[in-house]
Chain A
Amino acid sequence: MSPDSATIRRVPTGPARRGPIGAEPARKVAGQPGTDKGAVTHEGSEARIDARGIYYKTLNEQIREEMLNGAQTVILENVNGQRYIGGGLSGEDVRVVINGVPGNDLATFMTGPTLIVNENAQDGVANTMNRGLVVINGDAGDVLGYGMRGGRLYVRGDVGYRVGIHMKAYEDQRPAMVIGGKARDFFGEYMAGGELVLLGLGSDGKDIVGSYLGTGMHGGVIYVRGEVAEHQLGKEVSIAPLSAAEQSRVAELVGDFAGWMGLDAGEILERPFIKIFPYTHRPYGKLYAY
């Protein structure tokens, strides 16, 4: 007896899901006004966009459009969770000022511009960022500076988990991040280059950083203002005091950070820093049998 194709095609792939489908075209999201643009006003080389209720794709198109038309500064008002602001943006001497809380992946793949956030930021800031400056005048979320290869990121307050993972440096491309407050677990994990500075301002005796600090780290350096217990360290790193050259490098980074934040750098630098660095730039060199 020959089985018909209905019986032969009982393919056990799991329950079929029908109904609403997640991957709708990018513009059409419930409750979003779609392609409506934000109101823009111009003043000299400054453009001001009202981002209230504007869909992220449209908002980002508008930012690029204003810059192409010669705006040096784009000020965004009423930002509320729009993603990818500054994503892939390039250009020197251009600035985006964000009033409100931007969404995830701020400044992803960015090359050159300065982004100033006057409130908090969310996850994924400066993901794979190439060059430029991001200043956040509040707290920020998880996975900041993932794979960041250049530029600077300054955060006034606390940051979440997995910050500075796999930052890397190459020749004059040296990413640097200064965190004013505290950081959670996996700070600087897999780090391959660049500099992380953790100040722990306002930590009130709590731990400045979580566990697994610098796990898998094989390049770059982490400076922490205060103490870190042995159990917080990843097994590939150790602690040392700063050399004079490192001390002045920290002073330079903290000085710039404090300048943007309106803080007193001298006061911050009064407390001693420690250096966390990897034993080797080839942590798994002996893992394999050739």
Chain B
Amino acid sequence: MAEVTFTRPEFRVRIDKELCQQCGRCAHQCGWGVHKMDEETGYPVPDSSKCGACHRCVTFCPAQAILVEKNPLAYKHSDSFSPDLRKAVWRQAETGGVLLAGMGNDKPYLRIFDHLLLDACQVTNPSIDPLREPMELRTFLGRKPDKIEVEYVPDGNGSKPKLKTEMDRLLQIETPIVFGGMSYGSVSLNVHRSLAMAAKELGTLMNTGEGGLHADLQPYQDNIVVQCASGRFGVHADYLNAGCAVEIKIGQGAKPGIGGHLPGEKINEEVSVTRMIPQGTDALSPAPHHDIYSIEDLRQLIYALKEATGYKPVSVKIAAVHNVAAIASGVVRAGADIVYLDGFRGGTGAAPTVIRDHVGIPIELAISVVDQRLRDEGIRNRASVIAAGGIRSSADVAKAIALGADACAIGSALLVALGCHLCQKCHTGSCSWGICTQKPELTRRLDPEWGAERIVNLVTAWSHELAEILGALGVNAVESLRGSHERLRSLGLDQQTQEILGVKPAGIGH
């Protein structure tokens, strides 16, 4: 029975020979080698087992001769033991390995965002037209003082007020949407270039992830948050000072409690220079930071980073897990300026499928309990809350802010803007769209200027939509929506979930 696999292809790739011009573009475009040109007939012969339905060949076929369809192969029905579970068993029986996946949790758990509805003004307290009236989306991230003291200094005839309180440094963003951490190594340098250029133009922040900062991105440092994760790749004093803030990555929504294993195949020369490790070695990030076993240790690293950077803001990224409210409280007490919450739908370049699909909690619940806990303890002003992990649209951003977030971070949506089709094969390193790969013949497919333009378009469009939502709510600043649970209603959520979210059921007025 050697070499026999029970896992049949998920998709079926078909070439319409009446339309095919035998140009060979499909064979050239596919990173996974689905299409092979037959020398005798001149037509491509697809190997469907390698296809992830990423549509690269379909997009670039000049004759529209390629059809990718679901493999209709029937499986004996079982609600409990689904075909996907059977396939997983077969693959593991064949390999003995841990199954890997890319992108976010794709399982049909309850999507709370889709059960929340926003309010709008009618008749009284009129709505605002954001096209003709000012609408403030600008947001300041960081630690705000407990109180403001003002003194009056003599000024000619009278006196003028002057701020007496020493303010911590804040990060100014023009829209409450920042970019989540995606490391160079997992994504290509051209993706990083696109993100950096777009962040600068949008007046928001990109996040390096834990793979260091390529020298080409130095000019964008005012819009870059540099990450310090457990592997400490590419972390040195110049790197820490190369950004406007530093983020300590404790956890990631797609793989809470798990470290990272960037396979040696992805460590090419450029990645090796940036991560400062030899080519071809696995880049292993331990599951914990081994210098952080307590809140006190976290405080020590936060202040070590502040000392090394002249007191730049420090963000701490944690995965949304069961006890997230208490953990976030500890993070704020440890001195973090920003708490970055990553929900269980957050994306990844590679994670064990079992972790991606079964660990963590939804971001909606995490935002609400963290915001409430910090308020209850009187420390909400000491840190901003960034919500990430499953933000798919401007509606999700508005709902997250209404639940208590200061801003949202997006990652998967940015990659989708760059051509990602969510085929979830990031971990293979052969992304046909040139996003999640280091192969030069693939990475050059993504033109950074084109990428930046698409991201700017996306975030600009979402910002317009946010302004429309705020206008409909009758408020003229995103500040006025923050933590405003009263402007949300639930549809089809159970009572306890509603209580955790602090949201009334739809149909109930004020």
Which A residues contact B (CB, under 8 angstroms)?
A: 2-3, 5, 8-14, 16-18, 21-23, 25-26, 57, 60, 83-84, 87-88, 90, 104-105, 108-111, 124, 127-128, 130, 143, 146-147, 149, 162, 165-166, 168-170, 173, 186, 189-190, 192-193, 216, 218-219, 281-290
Interface pair A22/B334, CB less than 8 Å apart? yes
Interface pair B326/A87, CB less than 8 Å apart? no
With A18-B377, A147-B231, A216-B284 in contact, is A87–B499 under 8 Å at CB? no
Instruction: Identify which of B90-98, B154-162, B194-202 touches chain A.
Output: B90-98
Interface pair A143/B308, CB less than 8 Å apart? no
Seed contacts A8-B504, A109-B304, A218-B282; 16 additional CB < 8 Å A-B pairs: A9-B372, A11-B372, A13-B326, A18-B378, A21-B382, A23-B382, A57-B307, A83-B303, A109-B235, A109-B308, A128-B228, A168-B232, A168-B277, A282-B281, A287-B97, A289-B94
Residue of A nearest to B508 (CB): A2
With A9-B485, A14-B325 in contact, is A287–B237 under 8 Å at CB? no
| Interface residue ranges of B72-88 to A (CB < 8 Å) | none
22 A-B pairs with CB atoms under 8 Å apart are A2-B504, A13-B369, A21-B377, A21-B378, A22-B333, A26-B311, A57-B307, A60-B307, A83-B300, A83-B307, A87-B307, A87-B308, A88-B237, A109-B308, A111-B237, A127-B304, A143-B291, A147-B232, A170-B272, A189-B290, A282-B263, A289-B91
Give Cα A173 to B276, complex, Å.
9
Residue of B nearest to A149 (CB): B276
Interface residues as binary, B478-507 with A (CB distance below 8 Å gives 1, 0 otherwise): 000000011000000000001110111000
Which one of A88, A104, A149 contacts B300 once the chains associate, using CB atoms below 8 Å? A104
Interface pair A218/B284, CB less than 8 Å apart? yes
B427: CB under 8 A from chain A? Answer: yes
| Interface residue ranges of B360-379 to A (CB < 8 Å) | 368-369, 372-373, 376-379
B108: CB under 8 A from chain A? Answer: no
Give Cα A263 to B376, complex, Å.
59
Neighbouring A residues of B232 by C-beta, 8 Å: 128, 146-147, 149, 166, 168
Interface pair B95/A289, CB less than 8 Å apart? yes
Residue of A nearest to B368 (CB): A11
Interface pair B307/A88, CB less than 8 Å apart? yes
Give Cα A12 to B325, complex, Å.
10
Give Cα A288 to B91, complex, Å.
11
Residue of A nearest to B264 (CB): A282
CB distance from A132 to the nearest CB of B (A): 11
Which one of A8, A26, A111 contacts B303 once the chains associate, using CB atoms below 8 Å? A26
B15: CB under 8 A from chain A? Answer: no
B236: CB under 8 A from chain A? Answer: yes
Interface pair A84/B307, CB less than 8 Å apart? yes
Neighbouring A residues of B502 by C-beta, 8 Å: 8-9, 11
Neighbouring B residues of A284 by C-beta, 8 Å: 261, 282, 284
CB distance from B276 to the nearest CB of A (A): 4
Interface pair A146/B307, CB less than 8 Å apart? no
Interface pair A130/B237, CB less than 8 Å apart? yes
With A143-B290, A218-B284, A290-B100 in contact, is A168–B276 under 8 Å at CB? yes
Give Cα A194 to B282, complex, Å.
16
Neighbouring B residues of A8 by C-beta, 8 Å: 498-499, 502-504
Neighbouring A residues of B238 by C-beta, 8 Å: 111
With A21-B333, A285-B263 in contact, is A190–B277 under 8 Å at CB? no
Give Cα A84 to B299, complex, Å.
12
Give Cα A254 to B259, complex, Å.
35
Neighbouring B residues of A168 by C-beta, 8 Å: 232, 276-277
Which one of A11, A105, A124, A170 contacts B500 once the chains associate, using CB atoms below 8 Å? A11
Neighbouring B residues of A143 by C-beta, 8 Å: 290-291
CB distance from A191 to the nearest CB of B (A): 10
Give Cα A287 to B350, complex, Å.
13
Give Cα A287 to B498, complex, Å.
42
Residue of A nearest to B332 (CB): A23
Interface pair A17/B377, CB less than 8 Å apart? yes
Give Cα A83 to B98, complex, Å.
42
Interface pair B304/A108, CB less than 8 Å apart? yes
B24: CB under 8 A from chain A? Answer: no
CB distance from A123 to the nearest CB of B (A): 8
CB distance from B404 to the nearest CB of A (A): 11
CB distance from A90 to the nearest CB of B (A): 6
B48: CB under 8 A from chain A? Answer: no
Interface pair A105/B373, CB less than 8 Å apart? no
Interface pair A12/B307, CB less than 8 Å apart? no
Neighbouring A residues of B100 by C-beta, 8 Å: 288-290
Which one of B231, B261, B272, B306 contacts A166 once the chains associate, using CB atoms below 8 Å? B231
Neighbouring B residues of A216 by C-beta, 8 Å: 284, 286
Which one of B92, B240, B282, B309 contacts A289 once the chains associate, using CB atoms below 8 Å? B92
Interface pair B500/A12, CB less than 8 Å apart? yes
Neighbouring B residues of A90 by C-beta, 8 Å: 237
With A168-B277, A286-B97 in contact, is A88–B308 under 8 Å at CB? yes
Give Cα A111 to B181, complex, Å.
26
B278: CB under 8 A from chain A? Answer: yes
Give Cα A84 to B303, complex, Å.
8
B440: CB under 8 A from chain A? Answer: no
Interface pair B428/A290, CB less than 8 Å apart? yes
Residue of B nearest to A21 (CB): B379
Interface pair B290/A146, CB less than 8 Å apart? yes
Neighbouring B residues of A189 by C-beta, 8 Å: 290
Interface pair A23/B335, CB less than 8 Å apart? yes
CB distance from B382 to the nearest CB of A (A): 6
| Interface residue ranges of B438-473 to A (CB < 8 Å) | none
CB distance from B165 to the nearest CB of A (A): 10
Residue of B nearest to A131 (CB): B236
Give Cα A84 to B307, complex, Å.
7
User: Nearest 6 A-B pairs (CB), nearest first?
Assistant: A88-B308, A289-B97, A147-B232, A22-B333, A16-B376, A289-B95
Give Cα A203 to B278, complex, Å.
36
Give Cα A148 to B372, complex, Å.
39
| Interface residue ranges of B237-251 to A (CB < 8 Å) | 237-238, 240-241
Which one of B236, B284, B503 contacts A149 once the chains associate, using CB atoms below 8 Å? B236
Residue of A nearest to B295 (CB): A22
Interface pair B282/A285, CB less than 8 Å apart? yes
Residue of A nearest to B236 (CB): A130
